[in-house]
Each structure stands twice: as C-alpha cells, then as structure tokens.
C-alpha cells in the first residue's frame, strides 16, 4: 500500500487514512463540502470532499480511520486529494502504527535519556523537584506531542523536544561554564510538562478547555507549587528559580510568558526552546519536499518558505 509521502499527481487510489482534522464548508452555490487533513505515519495531506452526502459527513470525524477513494491533484503547487468516496474500516484491518506519526527515537531510548539527565542533577533539591514533576505527569511525558500542529506535533514529541534541548544545553554548559547546569537541565525537563493537560492526547491532538483557559505555563507552574509543598521545599531558592524557568521560557510577554527571563539559565532555556522548535518545524517541512523545491509558507516562521538545496544532504554527518 502506498504512503502519503509516495503519492504523485494523477494517482487514483483507494486506501485507509487517519482523519487529523475535519471542517465543514459551503460553496458559493450552497453545496456542502469537507476540508480535511489526512495522515499516515509518513506525513499528512490536505483533502477536499465536494458535494458530500449526509451519510459521509456523519462517518468522517477527527480521530477516525476511513477508507477513502480519491484522485491526487496539484493545487497551488502542492498535492491535494480530491475525494470521491468514504467508507468505514473494520477494526480488524486497522494497525494504528501505520497511521500515527511518532518520534524518531524509541520510547525506551527517550525514557533512558530522561533518566540519565534526571540522575545527572547533583543538587538534591532540584533533583527531587524534577522527579516529583515527572511522576505527576507519568507516562504522558513519553506519549504526548509538544504541540498540536507546529513543532514536535507527533507521538512522543514532548519528550523528544525536552531531551533534544537537554542535549544542546549540556554542550552549551561545556562552552559556557558560568551556567548552572543543574538549574538549566532541571528547567528544561519540566518546562513543558503542562502540555499533558493543555492538550487532549497523542493522536489528533486538540486543546482542552483547561489548556485554552489556563495554558501550559500556568498549569505547570501550579503543579510545581504542589510538588514543592509536598516536599517541604516551597520556600527554597531552587523552587523559586524553577518557577521562574517555567514562567519565562517563552522569552517574551507577547509569546505568553508572564515574566521575562531574569537569570542567565532562563534566558538560555528560552533560546534553546525556540531553536529546537524551529529546527523541528523546518525539518518536517523540508522532509516533505524534494531537493530543489520550496516548502509551503510556514506560519510559525513568519510565513516564510524554505528552499531545499539540491546538494544539501548529510552535510553535518
């Protein structure tokens, strides 16, 4: 069976796909249609289902795997599916691993790396606070994405993002020994834990009511207060500094941080967070185009497009 990444213009196929997003639309003549984002474990693609009948509208919903019959067309220089038919799939023929995009690192590798960084924290108070936060989140830390659509928006993306940041921080601490490694690594490991309540889950992720009304920064900050109180560390400088790391990690008021970074480790955390997120955003976009082509406009990158050089493969390996 073909994968989304292998589709070509003029392909006519019938295959199961996961509905990532489904929105109703109406043509200028009043006919109903569906705007769809469909996915398998190789990527995602937009689709249009014109003149959709009521039974198809009832069948198609985000999170379901549907067998679609479609034609692949080129629209605004990007492939798109023109859907003609939708049928339910039997649960017996569904292997969710074929439809869910997941981290490039195995879950066990991510667990081992997280354990390594946790155990490497020498300051006992930081280590206790971080351990308490990770225990509060539990296995969600290793299954949740880091965002719904922008960066690390896949199964295990949250822990992959945090580990990538910690690995980069470790290198920076070698280059800049004035940095407090324990504080920086601790802040990195817990800064996005609130996303496990902000978002609905690892598949077809949406923002929860709590997430929309409070946001992951406020959620994680509240959890840290609870953990610190349970450990009788609420008045410690370590707890205060970790609160600051969480509250300031977006780096700017307009990006959602209620305070700006005011210790050097908080400034570095916000810079690493931004760098890792942007590099992942660009990687996902560039992976979907061929050498010599441009990506789509990336909203999170000021609507810029990025060119994939013809001879740019493996240059850092």
**Which of 144-149's residues contact partners 24+ apart within 8 Å by CB, and which partners?**
144/195, 144/196, 144/199, 144/201, 144/202, 144/205, 145/195, 145/199, 145/202, 145/205, 146/192, 146/195, 146/277, 147/195, 147/277, 148/199, 148/205, 148/206, 148/207
Domains and CATH numbers, the chain: 4-98 (2.40.50.140), 107-281 (1.10.3210)
pLDDT digit string, tens, across residues 255-296: 889 999 999 999 999 999 999 989 988 888 888 788 998 887
What is the model's pLDDT at position 150? 61
pLDDT the model gives residue 151? 64
Could you report the average pLDDT of every consecutive run of 10 residues in the chain (317 residues)?
88 91 88 90 89 89 89 88 91 74 83 97 98 95 77 80 96 97 98 92 79 94 97 97 97 92 98 92 83 85 90 61
pTM exceeds cut of 0.75: yes
Residue 87: per-residue pLDDT: 92
Which tens digit of pLDDT belongs to each residue from 209-261? 999 999 999 999 999 999 999 999 999 999 999 999 999 999 999 888 999 99
Q: What is the pLDDT of residue 136?
A: 95
């Amino acid at each position: 069976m073909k994968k989304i990444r292998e589709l070509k213009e003029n392909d006519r196929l019938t295959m199961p796909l996961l509905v990532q997003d489904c929105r109703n639309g109406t043509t200028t003549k009043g006919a109903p249609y569906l705007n769809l984002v469909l996915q398998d474990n190789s990527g995602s693609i937009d689709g249009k289902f014109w003149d959709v009948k009521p039974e198809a509208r009832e069948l198609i919903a985000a999170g379901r795997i549907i067998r679609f019959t479609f034609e692949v067309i080129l629209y605004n220089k990007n492939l798109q599916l023109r859907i003609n038919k939708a049928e339910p799939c039997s649960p017996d023929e569904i292997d969710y691993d074929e439809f869910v995009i997941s981290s490039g690192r195995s879950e066990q590798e991510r667990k081992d790396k997280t354990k390594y960084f946790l155990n490497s924290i020498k300051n006992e108070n930081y280590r206790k606070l971080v351990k308490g936060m990770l225990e509060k989140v539990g296995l969600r830390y290793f299954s949740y994405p880091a965002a719904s659509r922008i960066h690390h928006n896949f199964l295990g993306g949250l822990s992959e993002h945090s580990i990538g940041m910690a690995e980069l921080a470790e290198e920076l601490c070698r280059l800049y020994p004035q940095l407090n490694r324990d504080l920086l690594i601790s802040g990195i490991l817990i800064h996005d834990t609130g996303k496990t309540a902000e978002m609905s889950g690892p598949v077809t992720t949406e923002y929860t009511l709590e997430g929309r009304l409070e946001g992951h920064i406020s959620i994680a900050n509240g959890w840290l207060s609870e953990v610190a109180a349970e450990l009788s560390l609420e008045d410690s400088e370590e707890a205060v500094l970790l609160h600051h790391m969480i509250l300031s990690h977006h780096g700017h008021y307009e990006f959602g941080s209620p305070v700006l970074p005011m210790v050097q480790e908080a400034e570095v955390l916000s810079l690493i967070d931004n760098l890792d997120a942007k590099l992942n955003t660009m990687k996902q976009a560039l992976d979907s185009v061929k050498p010599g082509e441009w990506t789509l406009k990336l909203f999170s990158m000021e609507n810029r497009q990025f060119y994939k050089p013809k001879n740019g493969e493996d240059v850092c390996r």
